């Protein structure tokens, strides 16, 4: 994602008429962020896997007279990522911010993407890299990229007991060998490792593109019991989670989806958030990520 090629004609700064792209905008934090931005009159591109759901969300927002477009994007299918980015560039629709929100968390056996990569890393990381790579050189000064980090990347108490990241290298993480039939297979570790990569991705984008006026940050939304990540868990775990969610929501570090969405929208678009670019951000303050996340 380094700026090897000169940018397109982007001498002028990003304007408020340019849209914000939100991946995974039909549910959870992505949907809430779209609503928060819509209230501010910010033009949106909802990058969604399910077009029917995307059109439903857009219709609700359009009733308020807002500019909302829906385009298909399946981050676990690189052909659709290319179609999405090619379409934006051909149509001359260049975003002023890209919020890399979409993500999956698997609880069961190893799953693979349409391109046969491990599904969690393919969706949360590789798909977003493929999304950003062709668009960055077309984005104007003042544009931003926001990735979704998480305290799960460090593990331990601050991660509510979630297992921390186990980094090896991207080749191994994207193309792991199939586990033995009865071997323990931990999708939670794959998730926390993908979050480590998302934080590092933001640092890399900011370091590479800040000289062009394109900045990046990684946002930790905190633990949000009301989001849909648990929908992939086994039924019994979903039932336990549903009962415990109201209690979890009261713990330090837990947030409502609405508050996290408002903070994410602010980070992606507000001039006041400029000092936080290049950082890992919780609420509206910088936070140190794990030492490993700063490794080039």
Categorize the per-residue pLDDT at 230 as very low, low, confident or very high, splitting at 50, 70 and 90.
very low
Categorize the per-residue pLDDT at 195 as very low, low, confident or very high, splitting at 50, 70 and 90.
very high
Q: Which pLDDT score, from 0 to 100, does residue 1 have?
A: 67
Categorize the per-residue pLDDT at 156 as very low, low, confident or very high, splitting at 50, 70 and 90.
confident
Q: Which pLDDT score, from 0 to 100, does residue 178 have?
A: 85
pLDDT beyond 60 at 241: no
Q: What is the pTM of this model?
A: 0.87
Which comes out higher in pLDDT, residue 167 or 180? 167
Q: Which pLDDT score, from 0 to 100, does residue 190 have?
A: 94
Tell me the backbone φ, ψ of residue 58, rounded to 5 degrees: -60, -40
Q: Which pLDDT score, from 0 to 100, does residue 234 have?
A: 45
Q: Which pLDDT score, from 0 to 100, does residue 65 have?
A: 64
pLDDT, one tens digit per residue, over 112-150 is: 999 999 999 999 999 999 999 999 999 999 999 999 999
pLDDT, one tens digit per residue, over 251-293 is: 555 568 899 999 999 999 999 999 999 999 999 999 999 999 9
pLDDT, one tens digit per residue, over 17-75 is: 899 999 999 999 999 999 999 989 999 999 999 999 999 999 988 866 678 999 999 99
- The sheet with strand 215-220 has its strands ordered as 68-72, 44-48, 20-23, 97-100, 144-148, 215-220, 280-282, 285-287
Out of 211-215, 220-224, 235-239, 290-294, least confident range = 235-239
What tokens does 74 get? 């399946």
d(CA 172, CA 170): 5
């Amino acid at each position: 994602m380094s700026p090897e090629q000169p940018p397109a004609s982007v001498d002028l700064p990003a304007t408020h008429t340019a849209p914000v792209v939100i991946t995974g905008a039909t549910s959870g934090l992505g949907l809430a962020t779209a609503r928060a931005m819509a209230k501010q009159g910010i033009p949106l591109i909802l990058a969604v896997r399910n077009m029917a759901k995307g059109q439903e969300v857009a219709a609700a927002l359009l009733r308020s007279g807002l500019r909302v477009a829906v385009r298909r994007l399946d981050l676990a299918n690189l052909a659709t990522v290319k179609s999405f980015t090619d379409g934006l560039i051909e149509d001359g629709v260049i975003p002023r911010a890209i919020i890399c929100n979409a993500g999956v968390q698997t609880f069961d056996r190893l799953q693979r993407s349409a391109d046969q990569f491990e599904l969690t890393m393919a969706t949360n990381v590789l798909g977003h890299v493929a999304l950003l790579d062709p668009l960055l050189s077309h984005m104007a000064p003042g544009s931003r990229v926001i990735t979704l980090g998480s305290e799960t990347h460090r593990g331990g108490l601050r991660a509510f007991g979630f297992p921390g990241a186990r980094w090896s290298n991207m080749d191994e993480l994207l193309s792991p060998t199939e586990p033995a039939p009865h071997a323990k297979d931990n999708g939670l570790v794959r998730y926390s490792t993908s979050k480590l990569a998302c934080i590092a991705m933001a640092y890399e984008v900011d370091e590479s593109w800040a000289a062009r006026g394109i900045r990046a940050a990684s946002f930790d939304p905190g633990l949000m019991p009301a989001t849909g990540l648990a929908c992939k868990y086994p039924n019994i775990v979903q039932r336990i989670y549903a009962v415990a969610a109201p209690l979890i929501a009261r713990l330090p570090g837990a947030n409502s989806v609405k508050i996290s969405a408002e903070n994410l929208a602010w980070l992606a678009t507000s001039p006041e958030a400029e000092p936080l670019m290049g950082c890992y951000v919780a609420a509206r303050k910088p936070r140190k990520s794990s030492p490993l996340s700063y490794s080039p």
